[in-house]
Structure 1
């Protein structure tokens, strides 16, 4: 294994006690409610330090998706000319397809005690630097996508300038990312109930007297293209969590039911995303001002408007704390010897200028472009790590996962990176964004099939290469 991972490999092989001086090891939460700073990084969590049950996966994946990012994403289907019923089918279909990989990958955490990008080293070897860097950059991009609304809400609520609202938002989410795993789980448990109630109240108020689009404005091929694009956008939201998946299950005991883990994660992601996007679809005609000020105006200002702005800010905090946490683990998985809390704070710091950039010009266009572009690499990544995991599982013949033994078998990095690069290249002609529309997407009336193409190409190329390397 490459030198930067020597300490992590030692921990994998010997289940060594945490060494506070190591960048990859450190203090771990001891039980639910232990909110001290988690300095533990990518080193495996020993089995005797695991705790919790699968039910906490529902809340950790439910609360962070109740954001205005999801609401405004939901308006896209109507903006593309679809009627409410057709757009809703696209949203549900896309969300379910995108949530399944995240739910599946999340079951690996309890079996290994390791985060998702560290587990990707089994397939990518030294080449994990590429998906690790993309994941780290994506976490910063998501900080901006969601922090844009959260910071704007704080600025509107307290009468601050926009930059100050964003600064406070980034500082708060960075602090939670620094505290780590248990603090995030506890916050999401509380916010699941608080935000669900808040969004229910807001929905009743926002949609009072509002009627959804009963008929669309596009027909034939254009309608099919709009349906696929809406489905892809919904898919991209749910699938964006896949590279994070086992980061939030790595402290669960190895005996935890994988079936329950899968369903808790799938339901947490799907129910929340479908709910907020349905709100966006229903109220697309009134969500014309996609800012915190627009929400305040729709709610009529006053106490209810302030309540709505606070809910928007808290929702952004829930989501971005997870971005900063997983971003810190991705940076370490690349071999960068930065303590996990420092890496989490760094992600929040770097997200600040990106929010200001998105706010400086056509916010809506920049938002939609970043939303799609940050996820095109994920389908190929999912296909590769899933194939590698299945091949290893068959070789084990039902035996428990032994990461020391798995890591000790040297494998070339080029098959995974070759399939990864080829999958992305094959997807380019099928991309449909405001910045670029590929020739295949144009021929398909704007339908974006890039995610599906990337997954299939990676699967078809990597599977035979991986099977030939089986030992």
Structure 2
């Protein structure tokens, strides 16, 4: 075995409950190492979203001047639109045995370094977005300084990310019930004493802009799982039902995000950027308040462990020859530093900007890999996918990065953040349509290029080369 193969492959879990460190990286998982049922996709996409990040995101609609029901409608719309492509990509794991960024080498070839590095950086950003609240909750619970609470949370998540696939699935199964109980208690407390924000200050065109921006922020949460999607289904057997995989994944994402964001909408005046303190105050302190704070910290560990795991695969896919467990640990360390930066100043502004910026690249990525997958499926004419043969098929690599960059550039005028407001977004009273524009432009640019530059016979390299081999 070469040094490169030993870096990208390694020990795999032997079955459900095998919690030894998974050293396996971006190499496809062989069929004889596959196990599990599609139902576990529900919990792996449900528990990680029961975080205060989702609650805080839910407060945005009210802060923009929307009433509860208008903000709720926008939130549900964005969540569903973002969850559908993520759930669809999740079905690719069982067919290919390959993680999402590693699989995107089929479309991007050596250009995969671009989305690979972006995904790695995004996983670190998500560590900060979620660890901010988990660290604050643990610090408040134990009377620690914030930095120590954040350090413990990120250490624990890094450990789970190092152990890998099976440890993550097991943790999410348990935490579905633990976190579900915690958020049921929070919901019951809101019902018993917090009135709905039934009126809003935004009217006319400003209300329209706030509706679209709220929807886009909700979409940014659910679609953020798209570059992770098949990472957590790659050990499922090839014969696993794809419709069941899709619906378990979609329901896990939609129900969890809708739940926590609804709580955020409801308690928007209570849950400021100090959401841990808001939960503690809502639950009244004591044992119940302590349980709520502990659940917030545990939720951050659950969600961020997935960030570190997927980030490690993305870094390998980008061509960095570093063992997967070490890459996962490195993401947690860098996430800790970013948490400290977010906590040091205007948390609300930094949170919203980071939340949007870490996702603006994702719709273009989704559009490109879906077009590539559909064209490959058409070329196979119904035959099952042979992932080794697909990686070996020559294809120019440059159309995907080109479409990716063009799509992002086209989306810039439609962006709305506190750092930058594009001219189109400004004209639309803050309506952020950048995610939709990026997806449409990526498909419109990439699909014609793929049709014009069909895969050529092996041995010809006019203007391009074969996608990089898997090892």
TM range (shorter): over 0.9
Structure 2: gaps (5+ residues) = 456-471
Q: Number of aligned pairs?
A: 455
Cα distance in 2 for residues equivalent to 1:328 and 1:51: 22
User: How far has the Cα of 1:19 moved from its partner?
Assistant: 9.1
Cα distance in 1 for residues equivalent to 2:240 and 2:452: 33
Is the 2:75–2:261 contact (alpha carbons within 8 Å) kept by the matching residues of 1? yes
Matched, 1:178 2:149: no
Cα distance in 1 for residues equivalent to 2:196 and 2:396: 54
Cα distance in 2 for residues equivalent to 1:18 and 1:294: 54
Matched, 1:24 2:26: no
Counterpart for residue 8 of structure 1: none
What is the TM-score of this pair, normalised by structure 2?
Answer: 0.95
Cα distance in 2 for residues equivalent to 1:23 and 1:333: 12
Cα distance in 2 for residues equivalent to 1:130 and 1:198: 39
RMSD: 1.3
Cα distance in 2 for residues equivalent to 1:74 and 1:135: 24
Counterpart for residue 41 of structure 1: 25
1:127-276 equivalences in 2 (<5 Å): 127-276=111-260
Cα distance in 1 for residues equivalent to 2:307 and 2:428: 34
Alignment match of 1:406 (pick from 378, 390, 408): 390
Counterpart for residue 331 of structure 1: 315
Structure 1: gaps (5+ residues) = 1-16
SS of aligned partner of 1:22: helix
Is the 2:150–2:336 contact (alpha carbons within 8 Å) kept by the matching residues of 1? yes
Alignment match of 1:341 (pick from 325, 349, 360): 325
User: How far has the Cα of 1:207 moved from its partner?
Assistant: 4.1
* 125-134 or 303-312: bigger deviation: 303-312
Matched, 1:386 2:370: yes
Cα distance in 2 for residues equivalent to 1:388 and 1:68: 36
1:435-454 equivalences in 2 (<5 Å): 435-454=419-438
Cα distance in 1 for residues equivalent to 2:146 and 2:132: 9
User: How far has the Cα of 1:470 moved from its partner?
Assistant: 2.3
SS of aligned partner of 2:227: helix
Counterpart for residue 467 of structure 2: none
Cα distance in 2 for residues equivalent to 1:135 and 1:430: 22
User: How far has the Cα of 1:469 moved from its partner?
Assistant: 2.1
1:47-62 equivalences in 2 (<5 Å): 47-62=31-46
Is the 1:25–1:39 contact (alpha carbons within 8 Å) kept by the matching residues of 2? yes
Per-residue CA shift, 1:348-374, capped at 9, x if unaligned? 011111000000011111111100010
SS of aligned partner of 2:7: coil
Per-residue CA shift, 1:47-79, capped at 9, x if unaligned? 000000100000000000000000010010011
Per-residue CA shift, 1:238-277, capped at 9, x if unaligned? 0000000000000000000000000000000000000000
Is the 2:395–2:454 contact (alpha carbons within 8 Å) kept by the matching residues of 1? no
